[in-house]
Chains A and B, each alone.
Chain A
Amino acid sequence: MASSLPFGAVEFAANPEPRCPCVLVLDVSASMAGTRLQELQRGLQQFRDELGGDPLARKRVELAIITFGGACRLACDFTAVEHFEPPRLQADGLTPMGGAVQMALDLVRARKQVYRDNGVAYYRPWIFLLTDGEPNDDWHPACVSIRETEASRQAAFFAVGVGEANLDVLRQISIRQPLQLRGLMFREMFQWLSNSLKSVSHSGVADEVPLHNPAGPEGWAKV
């Protein structure tokens, strides 16, 4: 039998730590242009810096970014935090949120296959959706997929609305209570996300980690 190397063999030889994949699904539709996008960009940079400062999280957490604005785009495929460079975001077009969520689910599924092929354990993937509008495509199939994925505990889905986001739609997509960002507290949001990912990546694979409630009086979100 001819043995061929699985995709990513070198990467997992160099760093065989269990992986904690996290996909950021970011709205870059035209309404995000200006201060919102600038703050989001700064937040991303800080997110990278915070996670990069943790010696274990930087080897375990892998980030991918999908943007949707006009079209859904894989702005950054899964990359370990130590090699992650936040892409430059540009706002344009409408809000194909359903397609983006579906793309994230597919991406996560494919990545898990890579982990299995390489014999590396993994944590439950996180999908983190951020939007300031409402979908202009058919988002119902994505909704069904999310529910199936959550029910079989194959990924954890979080939704955050910015500004005039349609929280009713988010409530239908997400099993967890969607959160409304207070003002433009992107940095606080990413701080929370990096702290959560750090605690998850310090726990063992499959440990349930209690997360700090972001909707507290000092938090970045309101329900």
Chain B
Amino acid sequence: MRLHDGRTWLRLTDEIGRGGEGTVLAVEGDADRVAKVYASAPDAERCEKLRCMVALLQQAPGLGAHCAWPERLLTDDNGQLRGFLMRRLHDQHPVHALYSPEERKRTYPKATWETLARAAAGCARMFAALHSHGVLVGDVNERNVLVAGDGSLQLVDCDSFQITFEGRTYLTGVGVVDYTPPELQGADFRSVVRTENHDLFGLAVLVFKLVFMGRHPFSGGATGDMAAAIAACHYDYPDVAQRLKHLLPLAAVPGSLRAMFEYAFGDPEETGERPAAQVWAAELDDMAMALQPCATDSMHRVPQSLSRCPWCLIEATLHYAYFLREDGDRYVSTWSPRAEELHQLRLAMARTDGPPEPSSLVAPDEVDRALQMARRVANLGPPAHLDSWHVRVVGTLAVLGATAQWSLGHGHLTAALAVAGAALWAMGGAWAWWARRPWIERLDAMTHLHHAVLAGADAWQAEAHQRRMRDRQLIDTFDVLCDRHEAIVRHRLGQWDRLSADAIDESTRPQLGAIGVEEAELPAAIGTDRRRTLLVRGLATAADIERHRLVGLPGLTGQVIDALVQWRQGLETQLGGRRRPQPKPDQFAAIDQNCTVMQTEIEDQLAAVIAERHAAANAARDALDAIYAAYADNTEMLAREGERLWLALRR
């Protein structure tokens, strides 16, 4: 695609992203910029808004610091506006990857609660900068805020901002309920003029989610309906955290921030204006500054407002670590199931075309006409030959005449006449054969061609079927390899398990094998259903309760698995078993490395299958095209020859 940016023509190449309104494309020769191109030409209002945004950026260049602001407009050959140029953001993840605990541990393994508080402060500063220029984010949501590896934040989808330029306001037009203040719940976003106060509700929700481990301040209560809860100003996290002791208590943040959340999420008619963005930024910075590492775990950050480390307490009750441990002696695995790589390979396989379907044979245009002509001509048969027929009639008459005369007694004359008549009759026959021979030959040739046409279609389908069967085999091979790739996760767990301290002490295995799961007193978390799950999977005795065999069973969460393993370990201790010493970190590292090698080998094989399928499909198309060409030629010849014969025969 080629678009003009007001100075020069730009070539837009690879697609980087795709959204509801259009695509984001790389710009050839410019690594720092990307183009957003709308799927359909934007309307006059949107064009005007984009022009104003570009003009606004020239007045206030600072606007571009925190977001992918439209820098230049892009037009096509006809001068029609098609999109805009903006800064390219590298290695960024949406903010939900930072505030969701499990994903954060994977994506930002070094992040602490302080990192999160600082990110929240950065988010507030970003809003403050926009608000100071009279720009509103409007559509605040978790996909529009991106976080870079260094913790800095950026806003994207800037063309949805609400801006005011030269006295005219351009609206956002959209919104996400979870970040919409009570006074706008249920309103038609297309006509809503947003205010800074509306934006500040969305900001408060983002800040809350970053600080409180991804929890939304409005849980939705008994109906799960967040919109209704927000509309009713039912800010219920404090209640939920009272009920669920494993949530981060509100007391973990300073009183000033607690009060700000109350204001931001309270009834706007009672609380008035929500706390401004720069106030959030300042308070969150203060909070981050005052955090202290915990004595037990250097990754834990403890607020001054609490006497004990909240993370240690949560880990003790929930058996879940919100933060990765930073332990020098311990091997911190960076092993990945390589699900993304496998996903990409699966997509590539899905995008590879197989050989044509046997049923997809399209007959050449003439085939109906040709087959019809062949049938008609065959029905007509070769033409009669009148002259020779006349000769044979004369011959026959002569023989008959001779017979009649012989009966009357004229013997000598009759014999000569009979011989002459018979000779005439035979000559007529030979003449007929001679005259009709070319016709018969042409008809035979046509029958031959007719069969060739029918056989051509059969041959095409037979070939296609055979190629298809081979393709099926390739797909099956691919599926089997994918299964093997996915099975490595469990294989690795099994290996870890055997190595780790919670492996069974082999000396106690016989006694453990005598303790049946069916009648044993299992931990409280194991109800009838889970007990049945264990039994149907063949985990019949305490000796079968090994971590790698439990992972992935339906209904068994990490917590339940921990409880089961602890139960078995308790039995082992009673039986006089001994705990195994902690294995060395490099033993775990070796398992991981081995698993990664297995994964990459399978990935190579998968790529080979894709290449083979691609090549086989091409070869199949070539072979089928050749068969088809002969089939089409024969059909054309049959049609032409059939028509000629038909016309000649009817003449």
Which one of B101, B141, B142, B554 lies within 8 Å of A15 (CB-CB)?
A: B101
Within 8 Å CB of A9, what residues of B? 244, 246, 318, 320, 559
Q: C-beta contact mask, B101-144 vs A, less than 8 Å → 1, else 0?
A: 11100000000000000000000000000000000000001110
Q: Would you call B100 and A116 a contact (CB within 8 A)? A: no
Is residue B383 contacting chain A, with contact meaning CB distance below 8 A?
no
Of chain B, the residue at the smallest CB distance from A8 is: B557
Q: Would you call B322 and A13 a contact (CB within 8 A)? A: yes
Interface size on B, residues (CB 8 A): 58
Of chain A, the residue at the smallest CB distance from B99 is: A16
Which one of A16, A53, A115 lies within 8 Å of B224 (CB-CB)?
A: A115
Is residue A102 contacting chain B, with contact meaning CB distance below 8 A?
no
Q: Would you call B343 and A116 a contact (CB within 8 A)? A: no
Q: Would you call A15 and B226 a contact (CB within 8 A)? A: no
A6 to chain B, nearest CB (A): 7
Of chain A, the residue at the smallest CB distance from B225 is: A206
B78 to chain A, nearest CB (A): 28
Is residue A217 contacting chain B, with contact meaning CB distance below 8 A?
no
For chain A residues 36-82, which have a beta carbon within 8 Å of chain B?
45-46, 49, 52-53, 55-56, 59, 74, 76-77
Of chain B, the residue at the smallest CB distance from A79 is: B554
**A205 vs B176: C-alpha distance in the bound complex, in angstroms?**
8
Which one of A16, A46, A74, A121 lies within 8 Å of B225 (CB-CB)?
A: A121
Q: Would you call B177 and A118 a contact (CB within 8 A)? A: no
Is residue A18 contacting chain B, with contact meaning CB distance below 8 A?
yes
- Stretch from B147-155, B213-221, B620-628, B639-647 forming part of the interface with A: B213-221
**A45 vs B244: C-alpha distance in the bound complex, in angstroms?**
37
Within 8 Å CB of A52, what residues of B? 339, 343
Of chain A, the residue at the smallest CB distance from B218 is: A121
Q: Would you call B103 and A56 a contact (CB within 8 A)? A: no
Q: Decide yes or no: A18 and B226 within 8 Å by CB, A9-B244, A205-B178 being known contacts.
A: yes
Which one of B103, B220, B557 lies within 8 Å of A122 (CB-CB)?
A: B220
Q: Would you call A59 and B318 a contact (CB within 8 A)? A: no
A14 to chain B, nearest CB (A): 4
Is residue A93 contacting chain B, with contact meaning CB distance below 8 A?
no
Q: Decide yes or no: A18 and B178 within 8 Å by CB, A49-B343, A112-B224 being known contacts.
A: yes
Q: Would you call A13 and B246 a contact (CB within 8 A)? A: yes
Within 8 Å CB of B486, what residues of A? 85
Interface size on A, residues (CB 8 A): 39
Is residue B245 contacting chain A, with contact meaning CB distance below 8 A?
yes
Which one of A10, A74, A204 lies within 8 Å of B558 (CB-CB)?
A: A10
Which one of A49, A119, A120, A207 lies within 8 Å of B347 (CB-CB)?
A: A49
Within 8 Å CB of A204, what residues of B? 141, 175-180, 226-227
Is residue B96 contacting chain A, with contact meaning CB distance below 8 A?
yes
> Which of A8, A76, A120 has the largest number of chain B CB atoms within 10 A?
A120
Q: Would you call B102 and A15 a contact (CB within 8 A)? A: yes
Q: Would you call A55 and B96 a contact (CB within 8 A)? A: yes
Within 8 Å CB of A119, what residues of B? 215, 219, 236-237, 240, 243-244, 247
Is residue B293 contacting chain A, with contact meaning CB distance below 8 A?
no
Within 8 Å CB of A120, what residues of B? 219-220, 224
Of chain B, the residue at the smallest CB distance from A4 is: B524
Of chain A, the residue at the smallest CB distance from B486 is: A85
Is residue B65 contacting chain A, with contact meaning CB distance below 8 A?
no
Within 8 Å CB of A118, what residues of B? 244
Is residue B228 contacting chain A, with contact meaning CB distance below 8 A?
yes
Q: Decide yes or no: A202 and B246 within 8 Å by CB, A5-B318, A15-B103, A119-B240 being known contacts.
A: no
**A74 vs B237: C-alpha distance in the bound complex, in angstroms?**
34
Within 8 Å CB of B244, what residues of A? 3, 6, 9, 118-119
Q: Would you call A13 and B318 a contact (CB within 8 A)? A: yes
Q: Would you call B227 and A16 a contact (CB within 8 A)? A: no
Is residue B66 contacting chain A, with contact meaning CB distance below 8 A?
no
Q: Would you call B245 and A15 a contact (CB within 8 A)? A: no
Within 8 Å CB of B96, what residues of A? 17, 55-56, 59
Is residue A218 contacting chain B, with contact meaning CB distance below 8 A?
no
Q: Decide yes or no: A13 and B226 within 8 Å by CB, A3-B245, A204-B176 being known contacts.
A: no
B36 to chain A, nearest CB (A): 18
Which one of A15, A74, A121 lies within 8 Å of B214 (CB-CB)?
A: A15
Q: Would you call A5 and B557 a contact (CB within 8 A)? A: no
Q: Would you call B220 and A121 a contact (CB within 8 A)? A: yes
Of chain B, the residue at the smallest CB distance from A205 is: B226
Q: Would you call A10 and B176 a contact (CB within 8 A)? A: no
**A115 vs B216: C-alpha distance in the bound complex, in angstroms?**
13
Within 8 Å CB of A206, what residues of B? 177, 225-228
Is residue A136 contacting chain B, with contact meaning CB distance below 8 A?
no
Q: Would you call B220 and A76 a contact (CB within 8 A)? A: no
B220 to chain A, nearest CB (A): 4
Q: Decide yes or no: A13 and B320 within 8 Å by CB, A52-B343, A119-B247, A121-B224 being known contacts.
A: yes
8 nearest CB pairs, A to B: A204-B177, A121-B220, A206-B227, A119-B240, A14-B102, A205-B226, A122-B224, A204-B178
Report B's interface with A, CB cutoff 8 A. 93-94, 96-97, 100-103, 141-143, 175-180, 213-216, 218-222, 224-229, 236-237, 240, 243-247, 314, 317-320, 322, 339, 343, 346-347, 350, 486, 552, 554-555, 557-559
Report A's interface with B, CB cutoff 8 A. 3, 5-6, 8-11, 13-18, 45-46, 49, 52-53, 55-56, 59, 74, 76-77, 85, 112, 115-116, 118-122, 202-207
With contacts A9-B320, A16-B215, A119-B215 known, what are 20 further pairs, Cβ within 8 A? A9-B244, A9-B559, A10-B318, A13-B247, A14-B101, A15-B100, A15-B101, A16-B101, A16-B213, A17-B214, A18-B216, A59-B100, A77-B555, A116-B221, A119-B240, A121-B219, A121-B220, A202-B143, A204-B178, A207-B227
Could you list some 22 contacts between A and B, CB below 8 A? A5-B559, A13-B213, A13-B320, A13-B322, A15-B102, A16-B214, A16-B215, A17-B100, A18-B224, A49-B343, A49-B346, A49-B347, A53-B347, A56-B142, A119-B215, A121-B220, A121-B224, A202-B143, A203-B177, A204-B177, A204-B227, A205-B227
